[in-house]
A and B are shown apart, each in its own frame.
Chain A
Amino acid sequence: MAGTKEIRTKIKSVQNTRKVTRALEMVSASKIRKAQDKMKASRPYSRLMRQVIGHVAKANTEYKHPFLIERPEVRRVGFVVISTDRGLCGGLNSTLFRKLLGEIREWQAKGAEVDIVAVGQKAAAFFKRLKVNLVGSVTHLGEKPQVAQLIGVMKVMLDAYSEGRVDRVFLCYNDFINTMTQKVRTDQLLPLPPSDELESSHDWDYLYEPNPQVVLDDVLTRYVESLVYQGVLENLASEHAARMVAMKSASDNATKLIGNLQLVYNKARQAAITQEISEIVGGAAAV
């Protein structure tokens, strides 16, 4: 009966694993909703911000902000990579990194160097191993990320851009499309791509307080930060969705495994019984 006992412990352990994966699945399912709500709540800000920038671009100002000027020569590009802090979320991070590596190679082939800002532990760990030029990092954003947590890393990138050390900045994250689908997206952050609402209708300008330069600088910095913040929220929702799906398939696999083990166990038990009977019958016949 040694075999059957082993199988029984094994079944028990798989059942325990299934308990854990089930729990994780349910936790993620409830967190998706919260993450989506946060995503929705932050949308008005970037929409209004875009409007303001559209107005500013339309207005007649003699001052052109560097964030809006395309640079002809690209010697160095920056990537802001948003990843998760924790694992167990399927191929979410690895797909992102694979796609990003392709882009990095493309830029390197063109002779541009690459700077990385990592958001989230997984990105930090990944790019640390790669030994690329990691210029900034922030981890442990938690379930309720705040803009304040991103100011530091963004300043690193924005300063590098303003000082001309970086000529283009991209944002790389997982876009939440629905629970089953998350798509890797690489958006250009700087220079800001021209918006659609750029046709200038009439001649007017704002009253700037204190002056156009300061105000524009503030508006654009905040806009870029809000884009990154949105990316973080999208990525958070994607993380929970991916984890839910991964944990669901893990639970399903565990169920299947338990079924198989149960079958093996029953067979072993039956074999033992048969053997015992044949032994008794054999013994009785000998008497």
Chain B
Amino acid sequence: MTSTIRCDIVSAEEEIFHGKVKLVVATGEMGELGIAPRHAPLITRLKPGQVRVILENGEEQFFYVSGGILEVQPQVVTVLTDTAIRAKDLDEAAARQAKDEAEKLLLNRTDAIEIAEAQAQLAQALAQLQALERLRKNLKH
């Protein structure tokens, strides 16, 4: 019987922990979870809180997660953590903001982006002029 299980803790932006552990303790949505080797397959959402792992040599490590998903497979425990605080209304606010931004873009015709665009076109025209000039110089000599 194996007394350890592989554990991966990752976020979208980086790998946080991986290695063999004796126990994983996390805050699931339905309550505290302690995952030892040979746990039944499980998948759950995590609440913001601590994930504690106990390494092979008995050492403890703590990680703070702002939510995420915990999956238990016979050989491996995977913790997919969120890097942002997620909540339904927060997500909705972000979506609204993205929509507003799009609408603003379609309405306003003389904002910073227009100026950036004009600048880009100006730079292009200048480059073309320069190229022409160079061509003329080369022809002359």
Interface residues of A, Cβ cutoff 8 Å to B: 38, 41-42, 44-46, 48-49, 51-52, 55-56, 59, 87-88, 117-118, 121, 124-125, 128-129, 131, 134-139, 146-148, 151-153, 155-156, 159, 204-210, 214-215, 218-219, 222, 225-226, 229, 257, 260, 263-264
Given that A124-B113, A159-B95 are known contacts, is A214 also in contact with B12, CB under 8 Å in the complex? no
Give the residues in chain B near A207, CB-CB below 8 Å. Answer: 40-44
In the complex, which residue of chain B has the Cβ closest to the Cβ of A214? B45
* Residue pair A147, B84 in contact (C-beta under 8 Å): yes
Give the residues in chain A near B83, CB-CB below 8 Å. Answer: 146-148
- Name the 9 nearest CB pairs between A and B, nearest first: A152-B94, A148-B84, A209-B44, A155-B95, A152-B98, A136-B98, A153-B98, A137-B102, A207-B42
Bound CA–CA A88/B126 (angstroms):
13
Give the residues in chain B near A260, CB-CB below 8 Å. Answer: 134, 137-138, 141
Interface residues of B, Cβ cutoff 8 Å to A: 8, 10-15, 18, 28-30, 40-45, 69, 71, 73, 78, 80, 82-84, 86, 91-99, 101-102, 105-106, 113-114, 116-117, 120, 123, 134, 137-138, 141
A27 vs chain B, min Cβ distance (A) = 18
Give the residues in chain B near A88, CB-CB below 8 Å. Answer: 123
Please name 7 further chain A to chain B contacts, defined as beta carbons within 8 Å, in addition to the given A147-B83, A218-B69, A264-B141, sorted by A numbering.
A52-B80, A59-B41, A124-B101, A124-B102, A156-B98, A156-B99, A218-B45
Given that A121-B113, A128-B105, A260-B134 are known contacts, is A48 also in contact with B78, CB under 8 Å in the complex? yes
Given that A137-B98, A152-B97 are known contacts, is A208 also in contact with B43, CB under 8 Å in the complex? yes
In the complex, which residue of chain B has the Cβ closest to the Cβ of A216? B43
28 contacts between A and B (CB under 8 A): A44-B15, A45-B10, A48-B80, A49-B80, A87-B116, A121-B116, A124-B102, A125-B116, A134-B102, A136-B98, A137-B102, A138-B98, A139-B113, A146-B13, A147-B83, A151-B86, A151-B91, A206-B41, A208-B42, A208-B44, A209-B43, A210-B29, A215-B45, A218-B45, A219-B80, A257-B134, A260-B134, A260-B138
A-B interface pairs (CB < 8 A), number = 158
Given that A151-B91, A156-B95, A210-B30 are known contacts, is A42 also in contact with B44, CB under 8 Å in the complex? no
Which of B14, B29, B113, B141 meets A128, CB within 8 Å? B113
Give the residues in chain B near A45, CB-CB below 8 Å. Answer: 10-13, 15, 80
Which of A129, A136, A155, A209 meets B102, CB within 8 Å? A136
Give the residues in chain A near B11, CB-CB below 8 Å. Answer: 45
Bound CA–CA A164/B10 (angstroms):
32
Bound CA–CA A121/B71 (angstroms):
38
B136 vs chain A, min Cβ distance (A) = 11
* Residue pair B134, A52 in contact (C-beta under 8 Å): no
* Residue pair A134, B106 in contact (C-beta under 8 Å): yes
* Residue pair B101, A136 in contact (C-beta under 8 Å): yes
Bound CA–CA A264/B86 (angstroms):
65
Bound CA–CA A152/B93 (angstroms):
7
Bound CA–CA A152/B84 (angstroms):
12
In the complex, which residue of chain A has the Cβ closest to the Cβ of B117? A125
Question: Which of B80, B82, B84: most chain A Cβ within 10 A?
Answer: B80
* Residue pair B105, A48 in contact (C-beta under 8 Å): no
* Residue pair A52, B116 in contact (C-beta under 8 Å): no
* Residue pair B43, A56 in contact (C-beta under 8 Å): yes
In the complex, which residue of chain B has the Cβ closest to the Cβ of A86? B116
Bound CA–CA A207/B72 (angstroms):
9
* Residue pair B120, A87 in contact (C-beta under 8 Å): yes
* Residue pair A225, B10 in contact (C-beta under 8 Å): no
* Residue pair A135, B99 in contact (C-beta under 8 Å): yes
* Residue pair A222, B69 in contact (C-beta under 8 Å): yes
